[in-house]
Amino acid sequence: MRLKLLSPGEMNESQRQTYDESIAGKRGKPPAPMMAWLNSPDMARHATRLGEVLRYDTIFPAKLSEIAILVTARHWTAHYEWYAHKRLALAGGMKPEIIDAIRDRRTPEFDDPKGKMIYDLAKSLHEGHGVEKGLYDEAVKLLGERGVVEVIGLCGYYTMVSMTLNTFAFELPEGEVPELS
C-alpha cells in the first residue's frame, strides 16, 4: 500500500462525515477506494454516493451489472477489484464459466441476451473508446436508454475505482492471490 489510510480518529470533520455516511449506507462499510479518496473529502462523498447508486439502484440485477464491473476490472488488471467483484458476481448468480472467460480475455457464452449486450458494450467502451452505431441501436432496443447510460456509468465509475486501487497498490486480503495476469 502506497498510501497511509486514515483511521476514523485521524480524520478531519469533513472526512469523518463522509466516512460515517458510507457506513450508514447500503454497503454498511466504506468501500476500499473511498479510504484513498478521503484525501479529497468532497470527491470521496460524491464518488461514494455514485458508487452506491450504481451498485444497488440500476435496472440490472447483480449478475448483470457485475459483468460490466468484471470487464472493467479485467481491462485495468485491477486485482483487488477483481477479487471483490468476483465474489459479488458469484453471490448474485453469475455462472463461474462467464467469470473465467472474462478473466482469460475470452468472450463468454451467455444464456441471457442482456448479459451479452452488457459485455459487448463494456468491451466496446474500454477497447474501442466508444460504441459504434449498430451496437448502440441494438443496446437501446434491448436495454433501453437508461440501461445504456447505466452500463456507461458502471464502466466509468469502476474505471476510477480500478485506477485508485492500482495507483495506491491496495493489497488483497491475507491468503488471497491475484487471479489476473
Instruction: Assign 11 a pLDDT band (cuts: 50, 70, 90).
Output: very high
What was the pLDDT predicted at 99? 98
Which CATH superfamily does the domain covering 62-167 fall into?
Answer: AhpD-like (1.20.1290.10)
Share of the chain above pLDDT 90, in %: 90
What was the pLDDT predicted at 77? 98
Q: Is the pLDDT of residue 165 over 90?
A: yes
What was the pLDDT predicted at 29? 85
- pLDDT digits 0-9 by tens, 65-121: 999 999 999 999 999 999 999 999 999 999 999 999 999 999 999 999 999 999 999
Residue 178 CB neighbours (<10 A): 11
CB–CB of 23/29 below 8 Å? Answer: yes
Mean pLDDT of the chain: 95
Q: In the structure grid, which three cell numbers stand for residue 36, read together?
A: 484513498
CB–CB of 63/56 below 8 Å? Answer: no
Residue 15 CB neighbours (<10 A): 20
Q: Is the pLDDT of residue 34 over 90?
A: yes
Question: What is the secondary structure of the chain as a DSSP string?
Answer: --SPPPPGGG--HHHHHHHHHHHHSSSSS--HHHHHHTTSHHHHHHHHHHHHHHHHSSSS-HHHHHHHHHHHHHHHT-HHHHHHHHHHHHHTT--HHHHHHHHTT-PPP-SSHHHHHHHHHHHHHHHHSS--HHHHHHHHHHHHHHHHHHHHHHHHHHHHHHHHHHHTTPPPPTT------
